[in-house]
Chains A and B, each alone.
Chain A
Amino acid sequence: MIFIGLAVHFNSYAKYDFKLGLGNLNEYVGKIQTDDQGTLNLLSVNPVVIFSLDYEYTPKILFTPDIGFTFPKSDRDENTNRFSFYSTLNLKYKMNDIYLLTGMGLFFTSISGAGGEENLNNGNSVDSFPLPDKVVVARNLIMNFGLGYNINEDFDILVHSFIFNLESKDQRAFSIGTNIHFHFGEFN
Chain B
Amino acid sequence: MKTKFLLLLLFLNVQIKAFKLNNNVNLAFKKESISVNLAQGFCTNIGISDDEFLTIIEDAVSDYWNKVPTAKLKLTRGSKVSVSTNFQTGLICNSGTNCDPNPLLEVDNDILISCNNNLTNFPSSSILGVTVPNHSSGSTLLGSLIIINDRADTQFDTKSRDEKVAIIAHEIGHALGLGHSPVRDSLMYYSTIPTRRSLGRDDIDGITYLYPKQQPITCGTVITENSTPQWPSFLLGFLFIYLVYLKLRPRLAHSRS
**Segment from A18-26, A135-143, A178-186 that makes contact with B:** A135-143
- Docked Cα-Cα span, A103 to B245, in Å, equals 11
- Docked Cα-Cα span, A35 to B184, in Å, equals 7
| Residue A37 CB within 8 A of the other chain | yes
Query: Could you give, for residues 54-79 of chain A, a 1 whenever the CB lies within 8 Å of some chain B CB and a 0 otherwise?
Result: 00011111000000000000111111
- Docked Cα-Cα span, A145 to B194, in Å, equals 37
The answer to whether A123 touches B202 (Cβ under 8 A) is no
- Docked Cα-Cα span, A129 to B18, in Å, equals 11
The answer to whether B200 touches A118 (Cβ under 8 A) is no
- Docked Cα-Cα span, A31 to B67, in Å, equals 8
**A121 and B15 in contact, given A77-B202, A111-B205, A164-B69 (Cβ under 8 angstroms):** yes
B18, B183, B193, B234: residue with the most chain A Cβ atoms closer than 10 Å: B18
**Segment from B40-48, B86-94, B110-118, B206-214 that makes contact with A:** B206-214
- Docked Cα-Cα span, A103 to B243, in Å, equals 12
- Docked Cα-Cα span, A118 to B181, in Å, equals 10
The answer to whether B212 touches A138 (Cβ under 8 A) is yes
Query: Could you give, for residues 1-44 of chain B, a 1 whenever the CB lies within 8 Å of some chain A CB and a 0 otherwise?
Result: 00010111111001111111111101000000000000000000
| Residue A165 CB within 8 A of the other chain | yes
- List 19 other contacts, CB 8 Å, given A34-B200, A123-B190: A58-B256, A76-B200, A118-B182, A120-B16, A120-B182, A122-B7, A122-B11, A124-B11, A124-B124, A124-B127, A127-B6, A129-B21, A130-B21, A133-B26, A136-B212, A139-B212, A141-B234, A166-B236, A171-B68
